[in-house]
Amino acid sequence: MIQLKVNGSARKFDGDPEMPLLWYLRDVLDYTGTKFGCGAGLCGACTVHVNGEAIRSCVTTMKDAAGKAITTIEGLGAKQEHPLQAAWKQCNVSQCGYCQSGQIMQAAALLKAKPKPSDADIDSAMQGNICRCGTYQRIRQAIKIAAEVKA
Amino acid sequence: MNRIERVSRRGFLGTAFGAGALVLGVQINEAEGATPAWMPSVYLGIEPNGTAVIVAHRSEMGTGIRTVLPMVVADELEADWKKVRIEQAIGDVKYGSQNTDGSCSIRDFYDAMRAAGATVRLMLEQSAAKKWNVPVSECKGQNHFVVHAKSGKKAGYGELVKVASTLPVPKKGEWTLKPESEFRYIGKEMPTMEQGDHTRGAGKFGIDAKMPGMLYASIERPPVLGAKLKSFDDAAAKQVKGVVRTATIDAFKPPHNFQALGGVAVLADSTWAAAQGRKKLKVEWDLGPNGSFDSAKDKAEIMAKAMQPGKVVRNIGDVDKAFGAATNLHEASYYIPLLSHAPMEPPAAVAEWKDGKVVTYAATQNPQAVQEAVASAMGIKKEDVTCHVTLLGGGFGRKSKPDYVCEAAMLSKTVGKPVKVVFSREDDIKFDFYHANAGMYMKAALDEKGRPTAWLHRSVFPSIGSTFDATAEYGQEFEMGMGWVDLPYAIANHRAENGPHKNHVRIGWMRAVAHIYHAFAIHSFVDELAAKAGRDRVEYILDLLGPDRKVPIEPVGMKYWNNDQGQDTYPVDTARLKRVVELVAEKSGWANKKPQKGRALGIAAHRSFLSYVAAVVEVVVDDRGRVTIPRVDIAIDAGRIINPERAKSQLEGAAVFGTSLAMMGEITAADGKIVQSNFNNYPVARMSEAPLVTHVHLVPSNALPAGIGEPGVPPIAPAITSAIFAATGKRVRELPIRKTKLV
């Protein structure tokens, strides 16, 4: 039996311990804000926080998630809208919107580690998150607005 | 002409409208004089609480169309945007075309949407006039109220619905459109409806759809197009925990159309279990004739054909005579590989077969194609297929082809439960309808100023027509009409020839379609000619466009496609193309940014989807040959633009999409099988590889609306290679650019 916390709630799981956290979140808990994009840690669409760190849930097994606190996009602004979520709206970042949960979760981890990121910091932190619609310049702008650094 | 009538809020409108709502349908493009069946395309209703409900019949894949078309209705309705609700339409022929592709939603529905809004506004004004016993002409809809200025009376739209519902629907001529000066939303920057949802992960996509009791399917498809299942062993697959059973899907019968490819499916209680079970399948295939398909050989064959005379598809003057007389000739060949769409959400749908009918929730650009393809697969009527359209996590043309929905429906019938099909990324890359690879040969005779006096352009590519005709070898009218036979330059002798080529994988339209390869060849060649003449590229392009004029396009053996629009309404207008070239040159600072070693600008200008686009790309090539793009400027004349904010976002996105296909995109096959599988070997632009910033410059215009979603793509690749040449002296004639060593 695997025990973990998801968005503040205690959960138990007795399925395949090799199952990626992504499919537990999506298929079992119905937290569908976390998206599947590649299944190989290549695109970042499935990014969630495990004990506050951004990870790719498509390559993180339930076994590895045991005992950890998971935050998904649904949990990020549950109490109060995260500044990134407000900035995302201000910049009208999303086109199709599919990758944006992962982008925001990745950016949230960046701002936690580096509250005033440089362009190079942003590039390096966001390099693993693909947006096929091509919203990168607005993502960068929104991160800067949320971080209150000059664009 | 638009015909507008009241309709029942029930029936195929489902639960979109509440009780007591006034609901209207608008039929667009009704033939004059004919009495066709009434097939309304657009629905608009006002509920008694005042909410204006607008049915979005087009698919939202990131263009913003689900917001932008309703803006047009709301404007004419004089609706308060805060009181507008959007309902997504199911697939139904009654809406007219719902195929969300070809950058045509605004072009095709702008007038109809305005008519719908204006009609309902008039009915509400009539209702108020009746209530206050004053002339209708004195009542005016204003921001969700009807006001009577003389008496100061004011009534909300909601309270007027009951009376309005009893009034006859006004005929054309009775209602009037607002003057442009009174536009409330049209032409204004407005956020899309989904922005908030997308920051909370609340948007519902095809992959998020669930039906009670459904099974998850993972499908082992034939690895080669047309391969047949010889045998399979599912014993180990069935041992995987969570796997419920396996099921086969019959191979398609040629032509493949949008049919399921066939294969063996593992059905399980979770996505993960299905995928694990599939790994344990042992499947043997008879690969068939496409089993020897090899991209290196295919490319060589295409390039060889491009050197041979082909079918003449445009012919002006006498090219051979001009070549014979010329002393200054230039020739070049170009190649673009197969490409995959790779939307971030792979193809996904859930479907249930029950009592001879199918209900599906699908990420689809074309719910009516879903109805047709599923009905054909199941042997039922298309009316018995209900297709609910979810949000699409990107489409780019892939989700116009509903093979994945057929799979879900067929499996549901086999297993007796709803079935969800989600392509893995490997499935998506390996079982796409690929953007055609193309080889092009260009030759020009040049005068003393380096201008072409004769121009030959041969193009060879597997046709999208092969989707519907397995023997197709020549391009379709629309493929040839995409930026090729409609070359707008002032050249006395001009010939275009199309060589035959057979497809060996599924070929399909991808964002900007045949414009991609035609624009790459034409604008690369123009860049070479300008360089050869030692002339400034902007000045050269303007010279090549010649005097301002509307160029009549008269191809050989076909009509000019022109996005199915007449050349009288949407002519090929060189003045508009010139305007965007001049605008982008000015905004990018072209004149003051002379090429330096390792840093330079490039330019290309192209008309597509009836819009005129010019792009200037700045590249930096470092001493290891690594390319970065610090800046892109794009100017577009798309006629009237409804939401400039979304237009800009589409063009920013097009610059990134164009960068991906120019710099890194390549699909290849070996032994008939697609080699690439995921973003590691089919890379797309990431943040540091995308243009750092794209500046979009919109030409103010009240001309007829034209395309926005696709036209930004075609000029990007040739503008990048133009810039690389200026920065390095290296001419890149084959994409992706990463295959050429630049230093």
Q: Is the pLDDT of residue B37 over 60?
A: no
Res B96: pLDDT = 79
* CB proximity B650 to A under 8 Å: yes
Query: Distance between CA B459 and CA B312 in Å, rounded?
Result: 11
Q: Which fold has domain A83-146?
A: DNA polymerase; domain 1 (1.10.150)
Res B31: pLDDT = 41
Q: Which residue of A has its CA nearest to B341?
A: A132
Whether residue A97 and residue B656 make contact (CB cut-off 8 A), yes or no, is no
Tell me the pLDDT tens digit for each residue of B521-539: 999 999 999 999 999 999 9
Whether residue B271 and residue A101 make contact (CB cut-off 8 A), yes or no, is no
All domains in chain B, ordered by first residue = 3-188 (3.30.365.10), 211-289+343-430 (3.30.365.10), 295-339+433-739 (3.30.365.10)
Q: Which of residues 544-583 of B touch A (CB under 8 A)?
A: none
Which chain B residues touch A126 with a CB distance below 8 Å?
687
Whether residue B198 and residue A123 make contact (CB cut-off 8 A), yes or no, is no
Establish whether domains A2-76 and A83-146 are of one fold.
Answer: no
Shortest Cα distance, chain A CAs vs residue B160, angstroms = 35
Q: Which ipTM score applies to this complex?
A: 0.98
Query: Distance between CA B381 and CA B375 in Å, rounded?
Result: 6
Instruction: State the pLDDT confidence band at B39, using cuts at 50, 70 and 90.
Output: very low
Q: How far is CA B411 from the centre of its chain?
A: 29
Rounded to a whole number of angstroms, the distance between the first and last alpha carbons of chain B is 60
Q: Which of B43-52, B280-289, B663-672 has the lowest mean pLDDT?
A: B43-52
Q: Is the pLDDT of residue B607 over 80?
A: yes
Which of B58, B270, B272 to mutate: most A Cβ within 10 Å? B272
Q: What is the CATH superfamily name and number for domain A2-76?
A: Beta-grasp domain (3.10.20.30)
Res B11: pLDDT = 61
Whether residue B686 and residue A40 make contact (CB cut-off 8 A), yes or no, is no
Tell me the pLDDT tens digit for each residue of B434-485: 999 999 999 999 999 999 999 999 999 999 999 999 999 999 999 999 999 9
Q: How far is CA B326 from the centre of its chain?
A: 42
Whether residue B685 and residue A139 make contact (CB cut-off 8 A), yes or no, is no
Res B171: pLDDT = 85
Between chain A and chain B, the number of residue pairs with CB atoms below 8 A apart is 186
Shortest Cα distance, chain B CAs vs residue A111, angstroms = 16
Shortest Cα distance, chain B CAs vs residue A95, angstroms = 4
For residue B547, whether the previous peptide bond is cis, meaning omega lies within 30 degrees of 0, is: no
Residues of chain B above pLDDT 70, percent: 95
Which chain B residues touch A99 with a CB distance below 8 Å?
344, 393
Tell me the pLDDT tens digit for each residue of B355-390: 999 999 999 999 999 999 999 999 999 999 999 999
Whether residue A132 and residue B422 make contact (CB cut-off 8 A), yes or no, is no
Tell me the pLDDT tens digit for each residue of B540-598: 999 999 999 999 999 999 999 999 999 999 999 999 999 999 999 999 999 999 999 99
Whether residue A31 and residue B391 make contact (CB cut-off 8 A), yes or no, is no
Instruction: State the pLDDT confidence band at B10, using cuts at 50, 70 and 90.
Output: low
Shortest Cα distance, chain B CAs vs residue A110, angstroms = 15
What would the mean pLDDT of B674-694 be, rounded to a whole number? Answer: 98
Shortest Cα distance, chain A CAs vs residue B441, angstroms = 31
Instruction: State the pLDDT confidence band at B9, using cuts at 50, 70 and 90.
Output: low
Instruction: State the pLDDT confidence band at A106, using cuts at 50, 70 and 90.
Output: very high
Q: Element (H or E) spanning B74, and its range?
A: helix B65-77
Whether residue B200 and residue A39 make contact (CB cut-off 8 A), yes or no, is no
Which of A34, A94, A123 to mutate: most B Cβ within 10 Å? A94
Q: Say which residues have a Cβ less than 8 Å from residue B483's Cβ, sequence separation at least 6.
A: B514, B515, B518, B519, B522, B606, B607, B608, B714
Q: Say which residues have a Cβ less than 8 Å from residue B695's Cβ, sequence separation at least 6.
A: B587, B588, B631, B632, B633, B634
Q: Say which residues have a Cβ less than 8 Å from residue B256's Cβ, sequence separation at least 6.
A: B225, B226, B467, B470, B506
Res B21: pLDDT = 78
Shortest Cα distance, chain A CAs vs residue B500, angstroms = 33
pLDDT, chain B, mean: 94
Residues of chain B above pLDDT 90, percent: 89
Tell me the pLDDT tens digit for each residue of B64-113: 999 999 999 999 999 999 999 998 999 988 787 899 999 999 998 899 89
Q: Which residue of A has its CA nearest to B658?
A: A134
For B718, the 3-state DSSP assignment is helix
Choose among B91, B59, B60: nearest CA to B369.
B91
Q: Is the pLDDT of residue B401 over 80?
A: yes
Res B118: pLDDT = 93
pLDDT, chain A, mean: 97
Q: Which residue of B has its CA nearest to A86?
A: B199
Instruction: State the pLDDT confidence band at B3, using cuts at 50, 70 and 90.
Output: low
Give me the numbers of helices (H) and strands (E) for chain A, helices first please. 7, 5
This model's pTM is above 0.90: yes
* CB proximity B678 to A under 8 Å: yes
Q: Which of residues 268-297 of B touch A (CB under 8 A)?
A: 270-273, 276
Q: Is the pLDDT of residue B41 over 70?
A: no
Q: Which residue of A has its CA nearest to B216?
A: A27
Whether residue B201 and residue A72 make contact (CB cut-off 8 A), yes or no, is yes
Query: Distance between CA A31 and CA A54 in Å, rounded?
Result: 17
Whether residue B345 and residue A96 make contact (CB cut-off 8 A), yes or no, is yes
What would the mean pLDDT of B162-167 be, rounded to a whole number? Answer: 87
- Beta strand B282-286 with B452-460 is unpaired
Which chain B residues touch A84 with a CB distance below 8 Å?
199
Whether residue B270 and residue A28 make contact (CB cut-off 8 A), yes or no, is yes
Residues of chain A above pLDDT 90, percent: 98
Whether residue B201 and residue A31 make contact (CB cut-off 8 A), yes or no, is yes
Q: Tell me the C-alpha to C-alpha distance, in Å, between residue B533 and each of B58, B271, B442, B669.
A: 48, 60, 17, 40
Structural domain spans, chain A: 2-76, 83-146
Shortest Cα distance, chain A CAs vs residue B532, angstroms = 35
Choose among B229, B361, B365, B349: nearest CA to B287.
B229
Q: Which of A30-39, A135-144, B163-172, B653-662 has the lowest mean pLDDT?
A: B163-172
Q: Which residues share a beta bridge with B387?
A: B360
What would the mean pLDDT of B222-248 be, rounded to a whole number? Answer: 98
Query: Distance between CA A81 and CA B459 in Å, rounded?
Result: 54
Q: Is the pLDDT of residue B29 over 60?
A: no
Q: Is the pLDDT of residue B603 over 70?
A: yes
CB count within 10 Å of CB B574 equals 22
Which chain A residues touch B344 with a CB distance below 8 Å?
35, 37, 43, 45, 96, 98-99, 130-133
Query: Distance between CA A29 and CA B279 in Å, rounded?
Result: 25
Shortest Cα distance, chain A CAs vs residue B63, angstroms = 6
Which chain A residues touch B652 with a CB distance below 8 Å?
134-135, 137-138
Q: Is the pLDDT of residue B2 over 60?
A: no
Whether residue B424 and residue A39 make contact (CB cut-off 8 A), yes or no, is yes
